[in-house]
Structure 1
Amino acid sequence: MQGFTPLSPPPRLLMGPGPINCYPRVLSAMATQLVGQYDPVMTGYMNETMALYRDVFNTKNQQTFLVDGTSRAGIEAVLVSAIEPGDKVLIPIFGRFGHLLAEIAERADAEVHTIEVPWGEVFTPEQIETAIKSVKPKLLATVQGDTSTTMLQPLADIGAICEAHDVLFYCDATASIGGNPLEVDAWKLDAVSVGLQKCLGGPSGSAPITLSDKFVKTVRTRHHVEAGIRDAHHQAATGPKIRSNYFDLPMIMDYWGDERLNHHTEAASMLYCARECARVHLEEGQQQVIARHKVAGDAMLAGIQAMGLAPFGDLRHKMYNVVGVYIPDDVEGEEVRETLLLRFNIEIGTSFGPLKGKIWRIGTMGYNAREDAVLHTLQSLETVLRMQGHHCPAGAGVEAALSVYTQAKNAVNKAGSANE
């Protein structure tokens, strides 16, 4: 068609808070030929994908599968399936995505209660337990890693608190999974939803989720008889109908289960993609992937600080995979981002809310959590800052990052020698 050329996007290095450049194997997987949704090959791939994500989530949950849609689809599926009108939901907000959870819960007619800390901080278990005792919610909904603030909420002690007070514990771990520890079973999480476009190294468009038996029992009580088609245990269900058909988790569970009851047509190319994201992650080794993200994040942070730039937030709780950087007073933040993008083909993130115009967000995620990407970004940022008239110690950022990588390699070699 005249005027419409084949796709040929520029070779951007995506070093923002996500999305990021995909692993090459993931891109190849998405080009795989389709088969029918009930073909035994396809249902076999579905079963493999469930098994792979149990390992990614560190869980034995049978109900571990994909919701077709972006990471927000997974969030909405969990919340609209669990919440009945008037249910109390407690949401600790420490960034933009806590507000998103609150909005979705409100649309499900929950009685939403929030607690907040300043952006750049996280909650203590004591703060959350105090709120749970006061509110007595059905569900605690939180975010593990919030890219708007670059902070990582500690979760290890919260599950036991929820269990003691008979509260369902849900977490959106989209920004953190794959680059930071996440132990679904050990931390007693009842529901977790994620996306592919951060540390898992894929595109947005599929939302892996995992559900505990307790959570499954809760949502199975919702009544969603579909013109007499659903089986007897659904017809005996009590409680109001789940308001969304597309995000009705019991129906999606039946589609992924042995019955294969029709609910939607699986997004096959995204399933191939999600399957390959998990394979790449697990083949490298989960601890090795997290360690790679930590080294890349440490190197980026060291480089930023060596350049005389100030990082944002409580660094004790910074995600491994993204850092917030205060924009120097003597430069135009958006002009720096535009020059990096259009002349150096590097994308870094802006921010919003109370941090709008105050910080950049620089990610080191998935395929881009590697030495050359970190060094290239630091060198290019130094050059652009100099172009804007900002003084930076020449080469200091790259040297500091190289030092972090050298120390990490020496530690690995020393550990290897000790094990011989």
Structure 2
Amino acid sequence: MTHPVNPPARLLMGPGPVNADPRVLRALSTPLVGQYDPVMTGYMNETMALYREVFATTNEATLLVDGTSRAGIEAALVSLVRPGERVLVPVFGRFGHLLAEIALRAQAEVHTIEVPWGQVFPASVVEEAIVRVRPHLLAMVQGDTSTTMLQPLDELGAICAKHGVLFYTDATASLGGNPFEMDAWGLDAATAGLQKCLSGPSGSAPISLSDKAVEVIRGRRRIEAGIREESDEDTGEPVHSNYFDLGMILDYWGPRRLNHHTEATSMLYAARECARIIVDEGRQAVIDRHERAGRAMLAGVRGLGLGVFGDVAHKMNNVVAVEIPDGVDGDAVRGALLQDFGIEIGTSFGPLHGRVWRIGTMGANARLDTVLSTLAALEQVLRRAGARVPHGGGVDAAYSGWSAA
């Protein structure tokens, strides 16, 4: 006999996904309506307006791509880049490699530059690469959870504009919990996901596109048989995807409501509620809350005598990479936290695999009580693993970190 879904209670304190806000879960359970019902199209318009506030933009083309955050990345890259065009990807962690791979699959000529994991790029280094490569598009991760680093973007938009380069960023791990100013920073495209600082489930990818980006997308040839007819104006290379063709998705979300797919209604409800909660609390207040919780967690792990990986001056607010003490089985500690306390923290990838745990404080979990619970549990598990850690050191330090100005 198959039983109903009934997962155990978990406190998800890894790099994502995190626990969804209960209000988002309630939104997911509300009734469906037809995709062209005036109520549904009204929710679509409201969702677009709410995400303009979240992205800090006036871009009309601010909407959702149905799918996980990777769907948003792929839609942006395959729609903005024609085969053979050059794309520059500065890589400072695993997800820079992902952008490069997706651009390669879009048949771009991909150029990468790299810094060691745990560092970020100075703007001058990016500009030097732009001058050398002369790319059509700069594609860059803002916050890479594999290293916990937050790449400064504020100078790059002006650099891209000076050299005639489109500027795209993947803000999946950073949007909502860290400063993000789409218009002020001169971004042409940005994508995200719900499952981190936005306090929702994975499955919907917010995206915002500048007028310049929309012009590039509209220049791609339309080939959807039976709905749109090709015209003499359709001279550009077609997007090599139907589902991720942002030109058609824009037509679906726009006033013409041209059919492209059936909108994932329940996920739209969830995405709308994620943005509504942020706007209701105040965008800057949410960022400040993430900064405070992240500061408390950083102080707490240091209070336990644990090292922290990477350039902490450029760490994301919402995740910290904690160095696993010598002689401690990192996977065993994670297993004990989950089994004995119902708390999940993350492992890592590539050169950091087995070297660090990644502990997140994001979304609805960016709170003092979740920080204290995680640190108290980690202390007990570490003691059982034979590590010598100060009694109450993590919790005491976290209290101080939370209260610091």
Q: Please give the TM-score of this superposition, normalised by the length of structure 1.
A: 0.95
Query: Is the contact between residue 225 and residue 235 of structure 1 (CA under 8 Å) also seen in structure 2?
Result: no
Given the alignment of the two structures, is residue 56 of structure 1 paired with residue 40 of structure 2, yes or no? no
For residues 174-193 of structure 1, the aligned pairs below 5 Å read: 174-193=172-191
Q: Matches of 1:128 and 1:376 in 2, distance apart?
A: 41
| 1-structure distance, mates of 2:229, 2:266 | 30
1:331 maps to amino acid: V
Aligned residue number for residue 136 of structure 1? 134
Does 2:267 align with 1:270?
Answer: yes
Look up the equivalent residue of 1:291 and give its one-letter code: D
Contact kept, 8 Å, 1:223 with 1:235, in 2: the verdict is no
* Cα distance in 1 between the residues matched to 2:168 and 2:225: 31
Alignment partners' CA distance in 2, 1:97 and 1:406: 33
Aligned residue for 2:377, secondary structure, equals helix
The number of residues matched between the two structures is 405
Structure 1 counterpart of 2:245, which letter?
Answer: D
Which amino acid in the other structure matches residue 78 of structure 1?
Answer: A
The CA distance in 2 between the partners of 1:204 and 1:175, in whole Å, is 12
- Name the residue aligned to 2:157: 159
Tell me by how many angstroms 1:406 deviates. Answer: 2.8
Which amino acid is the alignment partner of residue 295 of structure 1? R
Alignment check: 8 A CA contact 1:15 1:368 kept: yes
The DSSP-based 3-state class of the residue aligned with 1:255 is helix
Q: Which residue of structure 2 lines up, in the alignment, with residue 315 of structure 1? A: 312
- Structure 1: how far apart are the matches of 2:187 and 2:229? 29
Residue 280 to residue 152, structure 1, CA distance change in 2 (3 Å): same
Q: Secondary structure at the match of 2:195?
A: coil
Question: Does residue 257 of structure 2 align to residue 246 of structure 1?
Answer: no
Q: What is the deviation of 1:226? A: 1.8
Read off the aligned partner of 1:346 and give its amino acid letter. I
User: 1:377 maps to what in 2?
Assistant: 374
Q: How does 1:10-49 map to 2 (within 5 A)?
A: 10-49=8-47
Task: Give 1:147's aligned residue.
Answer: 145
Q: How far apart are the structure 1 equivalents of 2:404 and 2:71?
A: 41
Mapped partners of 1:19, 1:341: distance in 2: 15
Quote the offset at 1:227 in angstroms. Answer: 2.2
Q: Distance in 2 between matches of 1:231 and 1:329?
A: 65
> Is 2:291 the counterpart of 1:294?
yes
Deviations 1:349-387 (A, max 9, x none): 000101010000000000100010000000000000000
Stretches of structure 2 that go unaligned for 5 or more consecutive residues are: none
Which of 357, 363, 366 is residue 366 of structure 1 equivalent to? 363
Deviation (angstroms), 1:235: 5.7
- Within 2, Cα distance between the matches of 1:75 and 1:231? 28
State whether structure 2 residue 328 is matched by structure 1 residue 331.
yes
User: How far, CA to CA, are the matches of 1:235 and 1:21 in structure 2?
Assistant: 50
User: Is the contact made by 1:220 and 1:237 (CA closer than 8 Å) also made in structure 2?
Assistant: no
CA distance in 2, matches of 1:182, 1:398: 30
Match of 1:210 in 2: 208
C-alpha distance in 1 between matches for 2:186 and 2:117: 26
Cα distance, 1:369–1:235 mapped onto 2, change above 3 Å: farther
Change in Cα spacing, 1:337 to 1:235, as seen in structure 2 (3 Å) is farther
CA-based RMSD: 0.9
Amino acid at match of 1:74: G
CA distance in 1, matches of 2:55, 2:255: 22
- Cα distance between partner residues in 2 of 1:405 and 1:352: 29
One of 98, 101, 105 as aligned partner of 1:100:
98
Q: Report the counterpart of residue 201 of structure 1 in structure 2.
A: 199
Are positions 1:402 and 2:399 aligned together? yes
| Shift in CA distance, 159/393, structure 1 to aligned 2, threshold 3 Å | same
Q: Following TM superposition, by how much is the alpha carbon of 1:39 offset from its aligned partner in structure 2, in angstroms?
A: 0.4
Deviation per residue, 1:334-359 (Å, 9 max, x gap): 00000001111000000010101000
Residue identity opposite 1:318 in structure 2: K
**How far is the alpha carbon of 1:405 from its aligned partner?**
2.2
Segments of structure 1 that go 5 or more residues without pairing to the other structure are 409-420
- Higher mean alpha-carbon deviation, 221-230 vs 100-109, is at 221-230
Give the one of 282, 287, 304 matched to 1:285.
282
CA distance in 2, matches of 1:345, 1:305: 23
- Counterpart among 66, 69, 72 of residue 70 in structure 2: 72
TM-superposed CA distance for 1:155, in Å, is 0.2
Deviations, residues 66-87 of structure 1 (Å, cap 9, x unaligned): 0000000000000001111110
What is the rounded CA distance, in whole Å, between the counterparts of 1:104 and 1:91 in structure 2? 11
Give the SS at the match of 2:119: coil
TM-superposition CA deviations, 1:196-250 (whole Å, max 9, x none): 0000000000000000000000111110232252267x66222211100000000
TM-score (ref. length: structure 2): 0.99
Q: Distance in 1 between matches of 2:376 and 2:307?
A: 17
Determine if contact 1:61/1:210 at 8 Å carries over to the other structure: yes
Q: Which moved more, 1:249-258 or 1:222-231?
A: 222-231
Asked whether 1:357 is paired with 2:354, we answer yes
Distance 1:284 1:19 in 2: 21
Post-superposition Cα deviations, 1:235-288, rounded to whole Å, max 9, x if no partner, equal 622221110000000000000000000000000000000000001111111111
